[in-house]
Amino acid sequence: MPGPGFIIWVVLLVFVLLVLAKNVVIVQQSKAYVIERLGAFHTVWGVGIHVKIPFIERVLKVVSLKEQVADFPPQPVITKDNVTMQIDTVLYFQITDPKLYAYGVHNPINAIENLTATTLRNIIGDLELDQSLTSRDIINAKMRSILDEATDPWGIKVNRVELKNILPPRDIQNAMEKQMRAERERREAILQAEGQKQSQILVAEGEKEARILNADAEKQEKILQAEGEAEAIRAVNRAIANSLDLLNASAPKEQVIKLKALEAFKDMADGKATKIIIPSEIQGLAGLVGALKETAQMDADTNSKTEVFNVEDTVEAYSEHE
C-alpha cells in the first residue's frame, strides 16, 4: 500500500499537468490573442500553439480579424430645410491592429455608433430633403472617409458605409406621393399627346404620298395614252406613205387615180346634207354610177342627203346668175 508521500506526489503531478494543459493555447485562423504580462502589454499571438506562463501572463482580448457588420438603429437628423427624418446606417469594418483595438478605446462598437450618428447629422445638415434622398452615394462616400480616418487610431478599418433606410415624416411622405402621382400623370398626358401627334403626322404623310402616287399614276397614264395616240398616228401616216409609195411604184393609170379620188369623195360623204362637187374629168368613168349608187345607199342608211354637182354645170349656172 503506497504511503502518504506517494499520494502527495501524484496529486502534485496531476495539478502540474492541469496547469500546463490550461495554459496551452491554440489560436485559430482569422483570430488574434492580445497577451499581457504582469498587467502590461506583452505580445499578440497569431495562428498556432502557444504556451502561457501561469499566473504571470493572461489573455486580455480575443480579436476576430474577419470583416464585421454593425447595424445601428435609426438616428434622428435634421436637413438644411428643417425636415426631421430617421436614418439608420450599416457599417462594414475590419480590425487591422489588435493591440490598438484592445487599448485604443473602451467599447469600440459603441464609440463607432456614436461617431456615425454625429457624422451623419453633420452631413445631412448641409443638404436639403431632395438632395438627401437622391445623394446616397455621396453621403456614403463622405461618411466612410470620415469614419475610416477617425477609427484608424483604434486599429479599425472602415470598408463601407450604407444608408439602410431614410424615413421622412408622414406628411412629407404623403406630399411626395402626391407629387410623384402628378408627375406620372403629366408624363402620361405628354406621351399621349406625342402619340396622337405622331399618328396625325403619319396619317397626313400617308395621304400626301397617296395623292402624289395617284397624280403620278395619272400623269404616267396620260403620257402613255398620248404616246399610244402618237404612235397610232405615226403608224397611220407610215401606212399612207407606204401605200403612196406602192401606188407610185406601180405607175397607176389615170382611170385608177380618178377612181381613188372618187373613193375619197365617198368617204367625205358620211355626214348629213353633204354636198360633193365632182370634177368633170372623172365623170366619164364607167364605174361612176355604181359608186354614186353606193354613196346614195350609205346616205339612206344614215338619214343623210348627198347632192352631186357637175363642176361645169355649177360654173355655167353661176355665170347665168351673174
Q: For residue range 75-107, what is the model confidence (pLDDT) as tens digits?
A: 899 888 888 889 989 999 999 999 999 998 888
Cα–Cα nearest to 55, from 36, 27, 32: 36
Mean pLDDT of 130-150: 89
Over the range 261-288, which residues count as b (16 or more CB within 10 Å of their CB) and which as e? ebeebbeebeeeebeeebeeebeebeeb
Confidence (pLDDT) at 44 = 92
Cα–Cα nearest to 71, from 122, 109, 111, 124: 109
pLDDT digits (tens, 9 = 90+) for 219-273: 888 998 898 888 888 888 888 788 777 767 766 666 666 666 666 656 555 555 4
Confidence (pLDDT) at 305 = 43
Q: Are 127 and 135 in contact (CB under 8 A)?
A: yes
Alpha-carbon separation of residue 21 from 10, 24, 46, 71, 301 (angstroms): 16, 5, 19, 39, 149
Confidence (pLDDT) at 286 = 42
DSSP β-bridge partners for residue 158: 93
Cα atoms found within 13 Å of the Cα of residue 210, Cβ hemisphere only: 6
Report the chain's mean pLDDT, rounded to a whole number. Answer: 79
- Strand ranges of the sheet holding 57-64, from the earlier edge strand across to the other edge: 40-45, 31-37, 57-64
Q: Which residue has the higher pLDDT, 19 or 291?
A: 19
SS3 177: helix
Longest dimension (CA), the chain: 200
| pLDDT at residue 289 is higher than 50 | no
Would the pTM count as exceeding 0.85? no
Residues 175, 182: Cα–Cα separation, whole Å: 11
